[in-house]
Structure 1
Amino acid sequence: MFSDTCFAHFLDVEDIVVNHQLIYQVLLREVKQPNPDEMWFKIGDSIVSFTMEDFCLITGLGLEGEDKRSVFDSTYCRIKNEYLNHLSSISTSDISQFFINSDYLCDDDVVRFGLLYFLTNLMFTVTYKRLVEESLMVLIDSPEFNSYAWGKELFKITLSSLKVGLRNKYLIIEGDGKPYLAYRICGFVLAFQVWIYETIPILDGKFCSRISSRSPRMLNWTSRVNGTFNYNLNVEKDIFGRPDECCFTKESMTRSINALQSKHEKLISDQFKMKMEIHNLFTDFANSIVDGIEAVTSLIGLDQLD
């Protein structure tokens, strides 16, 4: 069953709408850096990095194990030969149509086609031709499916596409007849968007909502705002136009720590003053008792008795 696979937790993910405007604004702020396995961005006054570890914490997918599907290329593809042998090439649309319309699959193959449908339409948002690689179908039918390093492979595909996305723009004509520049990002872009949510705290309540504090982190967010079409929300103006609030900066963290330290020092000072006041009151009270005793003993002459 799907609930027994390494992707089962995605059944608990709330609605998250891709916010193209938000992703675009972050990509515009990429900075050059020496590590090819990361992307760095200047958000507000901070330099922040998107790493494989971030991706896996967000998605809950593993880093360990085999991550090269090429080892499955020469393996017999049962799924294709039994169900899709009439097709010379298989597209994501073919997978979708077969999964939705087929009524003669066994339970195990229903799950396998469900996984293919899930992976090819959500996780691997592939190239323009949207062809499904045979190695993916072999892997889904393999006992190694759950131990495969899906997190590592998906991160590599997503990172590579994010790096070149803005450089590979192309012209499209919309329904209004006007030309627009567009770009395509492959891989699991929603993980990058959730990383943006985690990185820019003032997005919460404006473009997304934090609903819990669970693991993996993708379960903690929901968003029903599509920044492409909702022109009342301006990412550049409302978010990136406020650099002091845009990110957890070193300076803002230092200010917060200093403020906490100042409050702590004041609290210690107040406690010390209170203790000294109590001590002084007790000392005054004790001295008054001693003075009273001395006065009484002097009065009755007890101080002269041995």
Structure 2
Amino acid sequence: MTSQNSSSSSTKTAIFQTLVNEATKSAEYDLPKYNTGELPRIGHLKMIMDPMREYFPVKVTMKSKIEAFEVIRQNLDPETEMPIFKEFAFGHFISMSENMIYFGVLTHYLLLRQIKIKKSHELWFMVNGTTTRFGMREFALITGLNCGETPELDVVLKASKNIRLLEHFKSHVVLVADLKKLLTGKKIKGSDKAKIAIIYFLAQVLLSGDEKKTAPLDWLSYVDDLEFFNSYPWGRVSFECTLRALRKNLKEKFQKWVRKGRNKSIKKTYSICGFPWAFQVWAFETFPTIGATFAKMVDGRLPRILKWEARRGMAVPILYPTEEEMNSMCMRLYLSYADQEDPEIDQLASFLDSSARMPKPVPEGELELQVQPEPEAELEPQVQLEPEAELELQVQPEPEEQHEPQVQPEPEDQLEQQVHSEPESESKNEK
């Protein structure tokens, strides 16, 4: 128990130190070109809480169950049913790593650093003088989901008429546990089983709750119409659910903790519903040092929840889409809110938009050069040698021994130790 508490404490210390130092580290790629002092009206922004003086111990959990991916993978036929699942708007999530760990303490540290704003549909944070935003556009870029306009009521009602899939259930009340039982059993197969997996994913991951939660009957109707289902703005629905959960009244929780004598052995607990994985990946994107320390990086995948490249540097205030992302469905259908005016925040966002520069992707050729050490290129001309010299080169392998230290991926090994060691302790401690 002592070692677990020690590991948990060191994880919290590492996150805190990263947040404090993040904005001062050197960047490896182009970041917005401005000084903190140039931010318009930044001196007028007020924090909801004092993150140092009003910090209190807490355990943060979440309802979204990543284990649902494994249930789906194990019970859908890879040849007949999984391709149907992938045709739906959530199909790309099946490639999301099931080994991802949720850092509740990271969520808590960020929520303590919220800026007091008038906006209803976004959160702003202040970390060491650097402002960052988590809004629906960031959610869309992370998840790749449709955050567009909600269909007209008559279209929704038309899609809600047929509840054919209800015939697979014993009553008109469908529990999430019933969905899992149907999915893991042998009662159904083919397209119906793939559609039940989609509803199960919605209830357990994207609009998360618990196994006692009921699944709306409308979902059983929507999933029978692939075109309607894929055009529905599930991203907007999931974002709103997640945002409501993140808007915790931490001030009130802190005051209750103070009234109970500031007992550090008593931890408050709160849960995040919706899809908090998107908020965590946003933190990895926004604070690359956190990503490099607490996550496993994968190259070549979009949307960003499937891959992201951790780059050390100051915080990225707002996520901007790449050229490839601009042509994606989530950006083409994206529809922003007609939110109320907030002069300070509006001026700040406008300034950041005008001064931002997009990160430059590393060309494939440069990536190959980084993976393959230069000495191999130098050995190429030696192929054209006299036979004796060529034989001599094969007999004496000194050059290979000289190049071995350059081939060993020691930095990656060290990074993996940082990524996997402390999070496991944190996860055990939460259990």
TM-score for both structures, normalised by structure 2: 0.46
2:175 and 2:211 in contact (8 A); partners too: no
Question: Structure 1 residue 25: deviation in Å?
Answer: 1.2
Question: Structure 1 residue 87: deviation in Å?
Answer: 3.0
Change (3 A) 1:47 1:67: farther
| Aligned residue in 1 for 2:85 | 2
| Aligned residue in 2 for 1:87 | 171
Equivalents in 1 of 2:193, 2:210: separation in Å? 25
2:132 and 2:315 in contact (8 A); partners too: no
Question: Structure 1 residue 215: deviation in Å?
Answer: 2.1
Say which SS state the counterpart of residue 221 (structure 2) adopts: helix
| Aligned residue in 2 for 1:112 | 195
2:242 and 2:276 in contact (8 A); partners too: yes
Tell me whether 1:41 sits opposite 2:130 in the alignment: no
Question: Structure 1 residue 90: deviation in Å?
Answer: 2.1
CA RMSD, 1 decimal? 3.3
Equivalents in 1 of 2:222, 2:252: separation in Å? 31
| Structure 2: 5+ residue stretches without partners | 1-83, 257-264, 318-347, 349-356, 358-431
| Aligned residue in 1 for 2:282 | 195
Give the counterpart of 2:232 among 148, 159, 164: 148
Change (3 A) 1:42 1:141: same
AA at the equivalent of 1:204 = G
| Aligned residue in 1 for 2:140 | 56
Tell me whether 1:162 sits opposite 2:246 in the alignment: yes
2:285 and 2:308 in contact (8 A); partners too: no
Q: How does 1:274-293 map to 2 (within 5 A)?
A: none
**1:144-192: CA deviations, max 9, x gaps?**
11111111111111111111374797x9xxxxxx864211211111011
Question: Structure 1 residue 39: deviation in Å?
Answer: 0.6
1:209 and 1:221 in contact (8 A); partners too: no
Equivalents in 1 of 2:124, 2:234: separation in Å? 23
Greater shift in the superposed pair: 208-217 or 180-189? 208-217
| Aligned residue in 2 for 1:254 | none
| Aligned residue in 2 for 1:247 | 315
Give the counterpart of 2:181 among 76, 92, 97: 97
Say which SS state the counterpart of residue 131 (structure 2) adopts: strand
Give the counterpart of 2:205 among 99, 106, 122: 122
Say which SS state the counterpart of residue 41 (structure 1) adopts: strand
- Structure of higher RCO (CA pairs closer than 8 Å, 6+ residues apart): 2
Tell me whether 1:209 sits opposite 2:296 in the alignment: yes
Change (3 A) 1:30 1:160: same
| Aligned residue in 2 for 1:236 | none
Q: Which has the larger radius of gyration?
A: 1
Give the counterpart of 2:271 among 184, 188, 194: 184
Question: Structure 1 residue 44: deviation in Å?
Answer: 2.3
Question: Structure 1 residue 65: deviation in Å?
Answer: 4.3
Change (3 A) 1:88 1:145: closer
| Aligned residue in 2 for 1:219 | 306
Equivalents in 2 of 1:219, 1:48: separation in Å? 22
Question: Structure 1 residue 66: deviation in Å?
Answer: 2.7
Q: Identity over the aligned pairs, expressed in percent? A: 28
TM-score for both structures, normalised by structure 1: 0.63
Say which SS state the counterpart of residue 268 (structure 2) adopts: strand
